[in-house]
Amino acid sequence: MMNSADSPATLKASSKQERKPSYHHGNLREALIEGGLALLEEYGAADLSQRLLARQLGVSQTAPYHHFGDKNALLAALATEGFRRSANVLKTATIENQSLERRVRGLCAGYVRFAREKPELFRLMYGTAVQRKSEYPELVAASTEAFEALATKVAEMITDFDITHVDARQATTSLLGLSHGLAHLIVDRRVSPILSELIDDERVVVEQAARLFVKGFQPSAE
């Protein structure tokens, strides 16, 4: 005879509990960030919530609040992770033993690819969804780390090609602006059919932009 503890309803509930993810105190924050990044791409920053994240991970609705006091703190943490990953991509980019134009093209293409693969994260990192960004030291540090990673690559190019008339920091800012602008145009398609057609071939757009940018490294004839 089946007792009440072995009833179908009880067994079903037990099965659900067994499938429910279990997170230790030390890795719940990481799980929340990973889950948040996935939900961010699905719902966008506006519709992402801690309750939605808690349901997705199968934890209590209050669990995320132990790590992120409010939604803004959660979004700041996600943006921080985005900058860290962007910095890692730059740090591990292999562009040595290539021409100057190929190096610039590689850096631009990597930036654009990052934005295309994670458009909502890209918008979160550089948009206005995160309020009071300067109040989050980790976000500030990660953003700075990403800039410094790009600056290191630019400085290497300047040294390798003995470019003495270009300031490395200014060149980094210009390259970042170029890459960001291209990524923004490609990720957020413009209404203008003319512009949409011009940026339709991502590879050509990046190649042309890199070629024009490299001309700035050439000393002016005086």
Q: What is the CATH number of domain 23-69?
A: 1.10.10
The residue extents of the domains of the chain are: 23-69, 71-222
* Of the listed ranges 70-79, 95-104, 147-156, the one predicted with least confidence: 95-104
The pLDDT value recorded for residue 14 is 42
pLDDT digits (tens, 9 = 90+) for 11-47: 444 444 444 555 554 588 899 999 999 999 999 999 9
Which CATH number, 3.40.50.12280, 1.10.357.10, 3.30.310.50, 1.10.10.10, labels domain 71-222?
Answer: 1.10.357.10
pLDDT band at 217 (very low <50, low <70, confident <90, very high): confident
CB atoms within 10 A of CB 183: 22
Q: Does pTM surpass 0.75?
A: yes
Distance CA(116)–CA(119), nearest Å, equals 5
pLDDT band at 2 (very low <50, low <70, confident <90, very high): very low
Distance CA(118)–CA(134), nearest Å, equals 23
The pLDDT value recorded for residue 65 is 85
pLDDT band at 194 (very low <50, low <70, confident <90, very high): confident
pLDDT band at 190 (very low <50, low <70, confident <90, very high): low
Distance CA(37)–CA(206), nearest Å, equals 27
The pLDDT > 90 percentage for the chain reads 49
Spell out the residues 6+ positions from residue 211 whose beta carbon is closer than 8 angstroms to its own.
101
pLDDT top residue among 66 and 17: 66
The pLDDT value recorded for residue 219 is 67
CB atoms within 10 A of CB 106: 17
Spell out the residues 6+ positions from residue 170 whose beta carbon is closer than 8 angstroms to its own.
none
Distance CA(53)–CA(37), nearest Å, equals 10
pLDDT digits (tens, 9 = 90+) for 90-127: 888 777 778 999 999 999 998 999 999 999 999 999 99
Distance CA(36)–CA(41), nearest Å, equals 9
Tell me what the pLDDT averaged over the chain comes to. Answer: 84
Is the model's pLDDT at 178 over the cut of 60? yes
Nearest residue to 77 (alpha-carbon basis) of 147, 142, 149: 142
pLDDT band at 6 (very low <50, low <70, confident <90, very high): low
Mean pLDDT over 56-76 rounds to: 90
Token pair for 114:
């990052």
Is the model's pLDDT at 136 over the cut of 50? yes
Tokens 């429910």 -> residue: 20
